[in-house]
Amino acid sequence: MFNHYPEWAQEFAQKYLSRTINQFILHGNVHDLVPLDRENNNFVRLKTFLSEEFFGARDYVIFYDRSSGIYFRDGESKKDFNRALSGRDSLMGTDYANKLPKDPVRVFSLLEQYFRLRIDDKKSIALIIDYAETIVPMNEAGSTGSEDRTSMVYLSRWAHDPMFLAADFTTVLLTENLADLNKTLVQNPYTNELKINIPDEKQRKNFIHFEVGEDKFGGLSNVSAEVVAQQTAGLNFINIRSILSNARENKETITHHRLSEAKKELIEAEAYGLLEFVETHYTLDDVAGHTKVKEHLRHAVQALKNGRRDVLPMGYLVCGPVGTGKTFLVNCFASEVGIPMVKLKNFRSQWQGVTEGNLEKILGLLKAMAPVAVMIDEADAYLGDRDASGDSGVSSRVFSQIATFMSDTRNRGRILWFLMTARPDLMPVDLKRQGRAEEHLALFPPHTKEERVELFKVMKNKTGLELTEEYVPKTIEQGLKSFSGADMEAALTRAKFRAAAQGMGKVTPEILDIALNDFLPPTYPEEIELQTLSAVIECTSKELLPERYQEMDRGDILEKIEDLKLRIG
């Protein structure tokens, strides 16, 4: 009977027909179109689907949101409601028939009286509440306002009142993020929540053919409909319609580049600017040193390209002293593997419940965008801790959300996490354990002559430094000074500055030597040693460690780390 409905709607129908629940929360992709899988295929707005298709046989379908107030599926429903309201006005001396209230308390009072009248008449009713988070928002019990509490009472009563349960009556609440709703309502045993997911590849392909037609698509795009469907992972139907309409109305042919740029803009907008796409033209060939780590990552690249997602770790913890190129390495990996890389921006908010809602939105998008790599820099500070306190439990809830999502084995090889930190010892064990950030990679400054020269040449290309002749400074060859990748980049930039100050386009060996000898990197020897030893002890593969660290006694390292922590304070 409901086979032409999407999966969530089929589940909705089955649960309602059980006659044990009459209140439902629809969350997720609620502002998109709904596909109807019939011979002619059709896509309609969610509220249209609910009122005309899903509840099409109901006598009355009523809508409510704070902005629009009460409105109706059709004129007959409105007339019937106004007739009932006129009778109430004459008894109570009010004038609601001419001017309906919009605030939840008065609206729910009017609706309850109307519902009871029509249920007595054996009529069937559906109430659809949009932007439900503005009616019963997420709040701590002690900070909930009287209006919110009253709204909660009405909704709870309708959910378990025997009269409402026995009748053909349904309340549907719509919200993007479940975390934005009052927890008491969400966890109510008389309420059921259903998630509407972002469209999958098959649905996206069907929508493209519905919007344009198979025979006309070639005139709009240099890319096949199948490829467009693949490359629009993470976008909803409205987003895809925007891309197709732009091509149709502005005569801008869809290309790989335009599709990539449009997807980037639309997803960043959908995520409220909390996700940022990371792009680079560098590859792992541009990473100096870290030979064994690069080889290990290239095996992961090959596994992904061969479709062997089952052999990949759930995530990587990339650690090492500051300046060793952790972020650059991960960027280069993303460029080489050919999947999008996103960086999580600050999703935390001072407002109650907003942080959890932001995170729910982000995690939902990541799942829809898969395969995708996720970069979190300074992960020890960014992700918080299960035991965090002082913010009404927000940090611990955020930590729990991320940890649970990271450990979902269905995402293995589809969502690849890269957690980067110079202080892995400050990371909670829950995130570093197997099943989450499984592979721990350690990066170190160059140690051998070959590593130092390689770093110099790579950074020379990266900074665009041009020498008047081929030259490798003795300071680099002989290791007279220790340079991390960041130090080398800064020193070579200073050499370019000195040459420019003398009106020269290229750098002479003499100027380069002067710049390198003059450069004094900020020196925090104990902090750097602590970061280095923490990376050694954290690495989960002995063969990925430089030889000088492979045979070090782990007990001695741990003692040294504790001693450094005490000295640094």
Q: What is the pLDDT of residues 418-474, one digit of tens each?
A: 999 999 988 888 888 888 888 999 998 888 888 889 889 988 988 999 999 999 999
Q: 0.85 cut: is pTM over it?
A: no
Closest by CA to 364, choosing from 129, 65, 122, 27, is: 27
Q: Say if residues 538 and 424 touch (Cβ distance below 8 Å).
A: yes
Percent of the chain whose pLDDT exceeds 70: 94
Q: What is the DSSP letter of 514?
A: H
**Which pLDDT value is given to residue 244?**
92
Confirm if 468 and 507 have CB atoms less than 8 A apart: yes
CATH number (3.40.50.300, 3.10.450.50, 3.40.50.2000, 3.40.50.970) of 278-442 reads: 3.40.50.300
The H helix count followed by the E strand count for the chain is 25, 14
Report which of residues 71 and 485 the model is more confident about.
71
User: Is residue 392 over pLDDT 60?
Assistant: no
Q: pLDDT at residue 142 above 90? A: no
pLDDT tens digits, one per residue of 290-301? 889 999 999 988
Mean pLDDT of the chain: 87
Three-state secondary-structure class, residue 129: strand
Q: Which residue has the higher pLDDT, 70 or 38?
A: 70
For the cut 90, the answer to whether the pLDDT of residue 89 exceeds it is no
**pLDDT computed for residue 443 by the predictor:** 92
Asked whether the beta carbons of 545 and 520 are under 8 A apart, the reply is no
User: Best-predicted range by mean pLDDT among 58-72, 214-228, 279-293, 406-420?
Assistant: 58-72
Q: Which residues contact 317 (CB under 8 A, 6 or more apart)?
A: 379, 419, 420, 421, 424, 427, 431, 432, 437, 439, 440, 441, 538
- Model confidence band, residue 22 (pLDDT cutoffs 50, 70, 90): very high
Percent of the chain with pLDDT over 90: 40
- What is the per-residue pLDDT for 471? 92
pLDDT score, position 44: 92
- At residue 435, the pLDDT reads 80
More confident residue, 392 or 496: 496
Domain 7-196, CATH: 3.40.50
